Amino acid sequence: MYVIIWEYRVKADRVAEFEKIYSTTGAWAELFKKGKGFLRTELLRDEKHPHLFITIDQWASSEDYESFLSQWKSEYAILDTQCEGLTEQETLLGKWESVRDESR
């Protein structure tokens, strides 16, 4: 499995809109579903900092994710531009691959 994790500091007056777009059924998840190998997306909010969120996007492989980015590049860019005003800051925390236990 391949996982991409982003952190967002959301503008106070845009939290509801952000949650709708970035939720498991939001616009980003709907776009990702067009790609082969997309598994799910999860939106998490920090319990002590209500404007701080993390998204976790799960793909079957890095190849599937890269293929999605290539195939849906313009749609991704359009949605990304539409979301620019929602946040004060967004940070890519990392791209992660599952470690397979070969001893099993």
pLDDT of residue 75: 97
Domain ranges for the chain: 9-35+68-95
Count the Cβ atoms, other than its own, within 10 Å of residue 92: 9
pLDDT of residue 100: 79
Place 104 in a pLDDT band, splitting at 50, 70 and 90: low
Residue that wins the pLDDT comparison between 104 and 89: 89
pLDDT digits (tens, 9 = 90+) for 13-67: 999 999 999 999 999 999 999 999 999 999 999 999 999 999 999 999 999 999 9
